[in-house]
């Protein structure tokens, strides 16, 4: 078992390995808040173990082994970007950040050739792991704006795009604050 890099064709919205628009996005594609998501790897048991070790156990340097592929996928997926492109990692709650010692989304953003700005923060803890799909999608927006930036394009960065709820919550806050051009990029779809 190994890492499975996502190749064309993919769902043109969420970046999942699929033809055209995938089932998930057919069912639920909230107001086109983002232009598109793109991801590096498909979810499989091998990657699950890797993520566990990287994110939950905190073995930070595992990102080094993935960084080249992360960068390459990003450059291919986002070939012509405006000059003022800014990466915004999905934040952790301060308690979780303290436990882990680093934010995995920030570690992913650091592999990419654009500046990272901490634009968002959490208003409450993150516990979506235990929630089902519907609960995740209808829950109150957990993010708020904590800064401003002059950007033509914002790319949200996270480790996993599962239902897309986290990314869309973040995008919604950005939209409400006047940022109109938003995409996202994740390690896993």
Partner 1 sequence: MNDQAQRLAGRLLLHEELQLSEPEMTHYLATNKLTALSPFLKNFLSLQCRRCGNKQRHLFGEMPCSNCKKTHAYCRKCINMGRVMACTPLYWWTGPKPVWPQLAHPMVWSGQLTPAQQKASNCIYHAIKTGQASLLIHAVCGAGKTEMLFEGIAFALKSQKRICLATPRADVVRELLPRFEQAFLGVEIVGLYGGNGAHQQTGQLTIATTHQLLRYQHAFDVMIIDEVDAFPYHADPSLPYATKRAQTQQATTIYLTATPREKRLKRLPTIFVPVRYHGYPLPIPQLKIVPLFDHSHGLTSLWTWYKGRTDPNRQLLIFTATIKQANQLFPVIKRRYPDQRVMLVHANDAERIDKVRQFRDKQLDILITTTILERGVTFPSVDVVVLQADHHVFDQAALVQIAGRAGRDPKDPNGDVIFIYSGKTRAIAHAVRAIKRMNKKAGF
| Interface pick for partner 1 out of 79, 98, 132, 138 (rule CB under 8 A) | 98
Residue pointed to by tokens 């799909």: 133
Q: Does 97 bind partner 1 (CB under 8 A)?
A: yes
**Tokens encoding 6:** 């996502």
Residue 57 binding target from partner 1, Zn ion, none, CB below 5 to 8 Å by type? partner 1
Letters for 35-74 (x = contact with partner 1 by CB under 8 A, - = none) are ------------------x---xxxxx-------------
Span interacting with partner 1, options 4-12, 26-34, 97-105, 171-179, rule CB under 8 A: 97-105
Q: Does 167 bind Zn ion (CB under 5 A)?
A: no
Q: 3-state DSSP call for residue 92?
A: coil
Which of 61, 129 has the CB closer to partner 1? 61
Provide the b/e sequence for 13-31 (b: ≥16 CB within 10 Å).
Answer: bbbbbbeeebebbeeeeee
Which of 91, 142 has the CB closer to partner 1? 91
User: Are 124 and 142 contacting, i.e. CB atoms less than 8 angstroms apart?
Assistant: yes
Which residues ranging from 14 to 43 are in contact with Zn ion (CB under 5 A)? Answer: 14, 16, 22, 25
Query: Sign of the C-alpha dihedral, residues 13, 16, 21, 24?
Result: negative
Beta strands in 20-152 (DSSP E): 37-41, 85-89, 120-122, 143-145
| Residues in contact with partner 1 by the rule CB under 8 A | 53, 57-61, 97-103
């Amino acid at each position: 078992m190994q890492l499975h890099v996502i190749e064309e064709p993919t769902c043109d919205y969420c970046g999942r390995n699929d033809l055209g628009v995938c089932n998930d996005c057919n069912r639920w594609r909230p107001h086109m808040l983002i232009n598109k998501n793109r991801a590096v790897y498909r979810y499989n048991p091998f990657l699950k173990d890797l993520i566990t070790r990287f994110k939950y156990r905190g073995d930070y340097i595992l990102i080094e082994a993935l960084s080249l592929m992360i960068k390459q996928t990003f450059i291919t997926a986002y070939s012509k970007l405006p000059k003022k492109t800014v990466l915004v990692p999905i934040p952790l709650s301060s308690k979780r950040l303290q436990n882990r010692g680093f934010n995995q989304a920030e570690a992913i953003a650091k592999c990419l050739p654009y500046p990272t700005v901490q634009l968002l923060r959490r208003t409450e803890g993150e516990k979506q792991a235990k929630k089902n799909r519907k609960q995740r999608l209808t829950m109150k927006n957990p993010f708020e704006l904590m800064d401003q930036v002059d950007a033509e394009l914002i790319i949200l960065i996270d480790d996993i795009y599962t239902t897309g709820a986290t990314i869309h919550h973040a995008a919604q806050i950005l939209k409400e604050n006047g940022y109109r051009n938003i995409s996202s990029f994740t390690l896993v779809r």
